[in-house]
Chains A and B, each alone.
Chain A
Amino acid sequence: MDQFLQATITGIATAAILAVAASGLVLTYTTTGIFNFAHGAIGMLGAFAYWQLRFDWGWPAPVALLVVLGVLAPLLGVAIELVVMRGLHDAPEAARVVVSVGLLAALLGLGLWVWPTDVARPLTRFWGNEHISVLGVRLTWHEVVAILVAAGLALGLRALLYGTRAGLAMRAAVDDRALSMLNGARPHRSAVLAWAIGCTCAALAGILISPAIGLMHVNLTLMIVNAYAAAMIGRLRNLPMTFAGAVALGLLDAYALTYLPTDSILLAQFRFAIPVILLFAVLLVLRQDRLRGHAARSTREVVPRPGWSGSLATAALFVAAGVVAAQITSAPDAVAVQKIVAVAIIALSLVPLVGFAGQLSLCQMSFAGIGAVVMAHHGHGGDPVGLLLATVVAGAVGALVALPTVRLAGIYLALATAAFAMMLDLWIFGLRDFEVGPLSISIFGTGSVAVDPIDVPGVDSAHDRLVFLSVVFALLYLLVVAIRRSTFGQRLLAFKDSPAASATLGVNTMLVRLAVFTLSAAMAGFGGALYGGTLGAVSAQNFAFAQSLPLLLLAVVGGIGTAAGALVAGVLVGGLPLLVEVAPWFENVNRVLPGTMGIALGRNPNGIAHQIRVGLAPLRRQPALLAGTVAGVAAVVGLRLAEVLTGTPFALALAAVPAAGGLAAQVLAARRAAGATATEGPDDVPLEWAGIVRPFTAEEVATMDRVLGLERRPEPTPSLAGAPSGVSAPARTAAGAGR
């Protein structure tokens, strides 16, 4: 009984901290429509900042608290809203998640940069271990403070939301963002306030929880999953339900800690999986979301429908690049390039999912890990059966992850994938060999397992394998092209554009989402099995949640609508660590780079690849220049093969030749256009002169109306389909989901 009471009290103290974290999350989500994946990272930074002031610089605790919670955290919140999130409310859901995940990656990297892991940082409880006894139960003052803070926050939030004008505006947004905006509210100020309060909540929770779990970057950042789960119980909206969810989680955690047998292999780490399992359970019972109509887009998205001849040529180019790379690399370098190609293969799995269907996965490396593990145990000697099995198992697991969320809005799928990745990290991937009935299951064994590279006749050296992997990448690229061209691909793009319209045409949108997620997981598992082969031995770290984030971010930055995004992700994820080996100073930059790029470019759906394509486009129309450029590239490669040009000069020359070709073509095209303008007849004025030297045509007026979103409609009506709640009223009128 005493044990039970003790667990209950401890659980409530944990619940209090969770409630603080979760209410911050809910407040920002409801007020701004952006789910803050970086919430945990902000809490982590808050805890570290507090440690810095209080313990490293020896400031008195009240002063340190005041500075962190009263100044730094709110300022960070305001900065996030003003610099990162503003203008994102109208963006498609995928862009909002990508930017938010980018913030998570960047802040986590920043924490590692400023406070490197090589220093121990003890952070003691308030008042050390002093405690009081209630009903014979030990309660530390720290726990008392946590409970009081949560209670105070609950009362404070209530007073703010129900007692002030600012609160009224926020609450209107909480209740029905669409409606409040129709009433003329422009919730920018509410958003700034919500971010400031949200970040303060996160920092407060981080400071309170650090003594218990230690001042560790990743653990503190992942604490957020527990907050997700609590917030999910309140359907990301309802604050009282969120508090209730926090209590449930806190108690479950404490009871698990007290009563779970510690000698069982399976159950030892099970405690960490509880929030994730609860989160999935909640997903199962949530009511179905309304289908939304199409979202407003500020950037015109390009997902070209590639033709077969061009695609075959591109595939041939991939293979040729692989062959050349194999020619010019030493054996160790060939292995490094193999890794790049293998990562690119994994990243390719994101193209149908994210690029075509607009769904997000934050656990693609986890699927890759599953593939690698299966390959390790069933692909001895590079048995292709292992590869096949890896693909199938990863696909099946993917289907299980997606199944509970396909009825729900996109954010829930993203959350489920994050939760799944963390469950693997914290629990499954750490399991030693165990048995379930007749089945004996082995994952990473005692920490790492060997993976044999796939055995293909005639492929023996590292160089051969590099060529082989390039061929595999090229084939998978063609598979993605085939998907894009099929009716399934059309359905994916249609779903991304307008789930509501897809459904009213008879498309089973849930099945489409399930299918594409399964396919993508299977591709990732396939890629993971090959990646494992290039690594030789794999461990849980290779496939951690933190590895999935850069993959997604860089694929989006590269251009997720085409294979180019996958290549960029492969080169950067696989290649930047190589750069760190040469230039150690780059390590810290590399920590924040993917996140920063995600923040900066995540809202552009087309990515770098599109910019490059646009830049090179004029080249195609100038055969002479094109031939010259190709010859130039061939010459550079030839010089490299002859070992005349090597190392950095070679790399620079390889990049410079096409760039120069593209530039020359653009200059020429501009000249030609200028010449043409001069001879144009009066009817055919350049577009920018239309309306000045002659009236606009009806067609032009219609185009302008459409582009500007000015459908001539007498008054705004809210959209049917509960469109992403982050849409501003004018944009919503333009978007007018589902009508």
Chain B
Amino acid sequence: MTAATAPAAALEVRDVVVRFGGHLALDRVSLTARPGEVTGLIGPNGAGKTTLFNVVTGLQAPQRGTVLLDGRDVTRLAPYRRARRGLARTFQRLELFGLLTVAENVELAASVRGRRRPGRSADEALELVGLRDLADVRADELPTGKARLVELARALATGPRVLLLDEPASGQSEAETEEFREVLLAVAGEGIAVVLVEHDVQLVMRTCSQVHVLDFGRVLAAGTPEEIRGNEAVIEAYLGAAPGVPA
């Protein structure tokens, strides 16, 4: 895809720096996600992927840098205001509302969206991830794989423009992962900008049009899956260690 035909970025992160005490968790990280595309974000444990999501959603204030949603600077905005501008996410460590049922979890998201923005109803969102028959189960009774799907449905019910997914496929079987990939592509097809953090490099390479590689808080490389596969630094630092990836 060339710059001329590329749609404007839905999410843009510029030069974000986050420090925890003496530890530099994010070091001038930049990232762009476009509507209709799945953008991958990979990197070893502790690279700073989740921290970046926290910065984007406003749960973690960066020491430096800016976050733009649809070109508007939201760096100082409260998390809920960003959400109302069309930002949604799932959590690596599940954050379902365990006291509520699956249906209530998703209804809550849809009710917050209100009628201001178009979006799926709770029912449609559950339908999409194939969990309608679990609607009345309490959320803390679900196995991890299913719970991740509910988180996805909940995020979708907010009618997002940008969707951040933090290891959504972990805990899923191979077949489930395949189904999940279909859902992901369908969602992106609706014009949502999806950012996918995933340790399953195969899945990322097959699904994403752009991939960013994070290592020790820095963007090691960014580009198409082919470019990433061929990148020396990435192979050395990351891919080389991941079994089953054709380098």
Selected interface stretch from B32-40, B63-71, B107-115, B186-194: B107-115
Interface string of A699-711 (1 = CB under 8 A from B): 1001101100001
Contacts known (A504-B89, A506-B84, A719-B93); A176 close to B21, Cβ less than 8 A: yes
Question: By the criterion CB–CB under 8 Å, are A293 and B21 in contact?
Answer: no
Within 8 Å by CB of B80, from A503, A719, A736, lies A503
Chain B residue numbers with a CB within 8 Å of A502 are 80, 97
Q: Report the bound CA distance from A491 to B97 in whole Å.
A: 10
- Which of B91, B101, B170 neighbours the largest number of chain A CB atoms within 10 Å of its CB? B91
Contacts known (A179-B21, A494-B97, A720-B60); A505 close to B143, Cβ less than 8 A: no
Chain A residue numbers with a CB within 8 Å of B99 are 301, 303, 493-494, 496-497
Residue B231 at the chain A interface, CB threshold 8 Å: no
29 pairs from A and B in contact (CB 8 Å cutoff): A176-B21, A179-B20, A293-B95, A305-B104, A487-B111, A490-B111, A493-B99, A498-B96, A500-B79, A501-B91, A504-B80, A504-B87, A505-B109, A506-B84, A506-B113, A509-B80, A702-B144, A702-B145, A702-B171, A705-B144, A706-B144, A711-B144, A717-B46, A736-B92, A738-B54, A738-B93, A739-B54, A739-B91, A739-B92
Contacts known (A501-B91, A711-B93); A506 close to B80, Cβ less than 8 A: yes
- Which of A501, A509, A702, A712 neighbours the largest number of chain B CB atoms within 10 Å of its CB? A501
Interface string of A286-300 (1 = CB under 8 A from B): 000011011000001
Chain B residue numbers with a CB within 8 Å of A712 are 170-171
- Which of A179, A305, A505 neighbours the largest number of chain B CB atoms within 10 Å of its CB? A505
Q: Report the bound CA distance from A712 to B57 in whole Å.
A: 25
- Which of A508, A509, A739 neighbours the largest number of chain B CB atoms within 10 Å of its CB? A739
Interface string of B183-211 (1 = CB under 8 A from A): 00000000000000000000000000000
Chain A residue numbers with a CB within 8 Å of B21 are 175-176, 179
Residue B166 at the chain A interface, CB threshold 8 Å: yes
Residue A737 at the chain B interface, CB threshold 8 Å: yes
Contacts known (A290-B60, A717-B45, A739-B91); A501 close to B97, Cβ less than 8 A: yes
Within 8 Å by CB of B93, from A291, A293, A507, A699, lies A293
Chain B residue numbers with a CB within 8 Å of A496 are 99
Residue B158 at the chain A interface, CB threshold 8 Å: yes
Chain A interface size band reads: 35 or more
Q: Report the bound CA distance from A300 to B140 in whole Å.
A: 9
Within 8 Å by CB of B98, from A497, A699, A703, lies A497
Chain A residue numbers with a CB within 8 Å of B51 are 720
Chain A residue numbers with a CB within 8 Å of B109 are 505-506
Question: By the criterion CB–CB under 8 Å, are B108 and A737 in contact?
Answer: no
Question: By the criterion CB–CB under 8 Å, are B113 and A493 in contact?
Answer: no
Within 8 Å by CB of A504, from B83, B96, B108, lies B83
Chain B residue numbers with a CB within 8 Å of A294 are 95, 98
Q: Report the bound CA distance from A651 to B113 in whole Å.
A: 53
Question: By the criterion CB–CB under 8 Å, are A505 and B166 in contact?
Answer: no
Chain A residue numbers with a CB within 8 Å of B8 are none
Chain B residue numbers with a CB within 8 Å of A301 are 98-99
> Which B residues fall within an 8 A CB radius of A?
20-21, 45-46, 50-51, 54, 57-60, 78-80, 82-84, 87-89, 91-93, 95-101, 104-105, 107-109, 111-113, 140, 142-145, 147, 154-155, 158, 166, 170-171, 173
Q: Report the bound CA distance from A490 to B48 in whole Å.
A: 32
Within 8 Å by CB of B59, from A494, A500, A702, A735, lies A500
Distance of B186 from chain A, by nearest CB (Å): 21
Question: By the criterion CB–CB under 8 Å, are B59 and A721 in contact?
Answer: yes
Question: By the criterion CB–CB under 8 Å, are A487 and B46 in contact?
Answer: no
Distance of A707 from chain B, by nearest CB (Å): 10
Residue A688 at the chain B interface, CB threshold 8 Å: no
Chain A residues numbered 689-739 whose CB sits less than 8 Å from any CB in chain B: 698-699, 702-703, 705-706, 711-715, 717, 719-721, 735-739
Question: By the criterion CB–CB under 8 Å, are B107 and A508 in contact?
Answer: no
Which chain A residue lies CB-closest to B98?
Answer: A497
Which chain B residue lies CB-closest to A300?
Answer: B140
Q: Report the bound CA distance from A712 to B154 in whole Å.
A: 23
Within 8 Å by CB of A738, from B59, B96, B97, lies B59
Q: How many A-B residue pairs have CB under 8 A?
A: 144
Q: Report the bound CA distance from A176 to B20 in whole Å.
A: 10
Which chain A residue lies CB-closest to B199?
Answer: A714
Contacts known (A503-B80, A706-B143); A493 close to B45, Cβ less than 8 A: no
Question: By the criterion CB–CB under 8 Å, are B79 and A291 in contact?
Answer: yes
Distance of A175 from chain B, by nearest CB (Å): 8
Q: Which secondary structure dominates where chain B touches chain A?
A: mixed
Question: By the criterion CB–CB under 8 Å, are B83 and A506 in contact?
Answer: yes
Question: By the criterion CB–CB under 8 Å, are B45 and A503 in contact?
Answer: no
Which chain B residue lies CB-closest to A303?
Answer: B99
Question: By the criterion CB–CB under 8 Å, are B57 and A490 in contact?
Answer: no
Chain A residues numbered 484-543 whose CB sits less than 8 Å from any CB in chain B: 487, 490-491, 493-494, 496-498, 500-509
Q: Report the bound CA distance from A737 to B60 in whole Å.
A: 12
Question: By the criterion CB–CB under 8 Å, are B143 and A494 in contact?
Answer: no
Q: Report the bound CA distance from A290 to B79 in whole Å.
A: 10
Chain A residue numbers with a CB within 8 Å of B84 are 506
Chain A residue numbers with a CB within 8 Å of B45 are 714-715, 717
Which chain A residue lies CB-closest to B99?
Answer: A493
Closest 10 A-B residue pairs measured CB to CB?
A736-B93, A702-B143, A506-B83, A501-B95, A503-B79, A739-B92, A506-B112, A494-B97, A739-B93, A497-B97
List 16 other contacts, CB 8 Å, given A290-B60, A490-B100. A305-B104, A490-B104, A497-B95, A497-B100, A501-B91, A503-B59, A504-B88, A506-B83, A506-B112, A506-B158, A507-B112, A508-B80, A702-B143, A702-B171, A705-B143, A717-B46
Distance of A511 from chain B, by nearest CB (Å): 9
Question: By the criterion CB–CB under 8 Å, are A739 and B98 in contact?
Answer: no
Chain A residue numbers with a CB within 8 Å of B58 are 503-504
Which chain A residue lies CB-closest to B173?
Answer: A698
Q: Report the bound CA distance from A329 to B155 in whole Å.
A: 57
Chain A residues numbered 89-128 whose CB sits less than 8 Å from any CB in chain B: none
Chain B residue numbers with a CB within 8 Å of A179 are 20-21
- Which of B46, B99, B112 neighbours the largest number of chain A CB atoms within 10 Å of its CB? B99
Distance of B100 from chain A, by nearest CB (Å): 6
- Which of B93, B166, B171 neighbours the largest number of chain A CB atoms within 10 Å of its CB? B93
Chain A residue numbers with a CB within 8 Å of B111 are 487, 490
Chain B residue numbers with a CB within 8 Å of A699 are 143
Chain A residue numbers with a CB within 8 Å of B170 are 712-713
Q: Report the bound CA distance from A739 to B109 in whole Å.
A: 18
Which chain A residue lies CB-closest to B54?
Answer: A720
Question: By the criterion CB–CB under 8 Å, are B50 and A720 in contact?
Answer: yes
Question: By the criterion CB–CB under 8 Å, are B78 and A503 in contact?
Answer: yes
Chain A residue numbers with a CB within 8 Å of B104 are 305, 490
Chain B residue numbers with a CB within 8 Å of A711 are 93, 144, 171
Chain A residue numbers with a CB within 8 Å of B113 are 506
Distance of A283 from chain B, by nearest CB (Å): 19
Distance of B190 from chain A, by nearest CB (Å): 19
